[in-house]
Amino acid sequence: MKIAVTGGAGYIGSTLVKRLVEGGNQVVSVDNLMNGDYGPLRALGMSEKATLHVADIRDGKRIEESLAGSDAIAHLAALPGLVKCRERPEEAVSINLYGTQQVLEAARRLDIGKVVFCSSAAVYGKPVELPVTESHPLRPLNLYGVTKLAGEKLMELYFDNYGIETISLRFGNVFGVGLFTHYDTVIPRFVRMGLDGESLTIYGDGTSSRDFVHVEDVVQAMALSLASKGLGGEVYNVGGETMEIGALARRVAEFLRNETGENVRITHLPPRPGETKEFSYNLEKIKGELGYGPRWSIMRGVEQITKFNLEQRALKV
């Protein structure tokens, strides 16, 4: 099977490229290298097994040329996260909406039958019931969530009108060591701050909760979606383990104290606008229909991230 990956030089994308190549697939990657780096893939010899293009998903002609001959597309390229989208709104809309439409147009013109889209829990906004199922109302609280919801609607449009089997995966809070680990979500940020001797910063009173999912489990969901048959216009929650941010900070601080012997402090700052208070996922649909099962616990991931950080610091000495 020949699979195209947009954003294949990024955190999740490069991990997916590696898994797909190891699974015997032909892989072509497209990335403008704004947030990614092909270096880790090349270091593993992946440039000999996968075609690595440098191109922007908003360039329709280049995208069509790059994706030609593919059987399916994993669409991960985006301007990610609440902060970047708030700081660069024009770029957020341009990349996350127009870029997504260009990828789908290329799929239509090239007769590519499947597109799997990287969406986000941000499409839900403030939950009205927990745990959140895929039928929960969609009312995003920030521009990032709005662009991801618009991307999902584009997926539905191309399924309804052109028969492309589209699947949108709503990722929880992604963490863990990938191939190109450049993702500063709360868990890796806590580990980095603790190792740097900084206080672990909590926005609000610490009772906010998130569903945390390891990058390897995200890639598992992507691979299962790409291999699925007869599913189109579908959405799935992709999660792992739910924990309050305050409890997470305390557990990370305790783990780092045991590892390094250094005391780790915790401080609180005012809540940030545009963020949900409580959040947890219902995963029954993806487990039942795709056979997904998260394999990484939060603390196993914290141990992995800590080991990775300590190894990276030792190399710089």
pLDDT in tens, 258-302: 999 999 999 999 998 877 889 999 999 999 999 999 999 999 999
| Catalytic residue list contains 144 | yes
- Say if strands 114-120 and 72-75 run parallel, antiparallel, or are unpaired: parallel
- H or E element, residue 46: none
Helix (H, G, I), strand (E, B) or coil at 42: helix
- Kindly indicate whether the domain formed by 2-173+213-239+281-294 is annotated with CATH number 3.40.50.920: no
- Is pLDDT of 113 > 80? yes
pLDDT of residue 274: 75
What CATH number belongs to 186-207+242-279+300-316? 3.90.25.10
What residues contact residue 154 under an 8 Å CB cut-off, 6+ apart? 97, 100, 101, 104
List the catalytic residue out of 11, 144, 236, 281. Answer: 144
- Is pLDDT of 208 > 70? yes
- The Cα–Cα gap between 196 and 185 comes to 16
Query: Which residue, 224, 117, 223, 121, is CA-closest to 164?
Result: 117
Mean pLDDT over all residues of the chain? 95
User: How far does CA 71 lie from the centroid of its chain?
Assistant: 22
Once rounded to an integer, what is the mean pLDDT over residues 196-211?
95
pTM assigned to the model: 0.95
- 58: tokens are 């908003």
Asked if 154 and 101 count as a contact pair (C-beta separation under 8 A), the reply is yes
Taking only Cα atoms into account, the Rg of the chain, rounded to an integer number of angstroms, comes to 19
Q: Where are the domains of the chain?
A: 2-173+213-239+281-294, 186-207+242-279+300-316
- Is pLDDT of 232 > 70? yes
pLDDT in tens, 127-164: 999 999 999 999 999 999 999 999 999 999 999 999 99
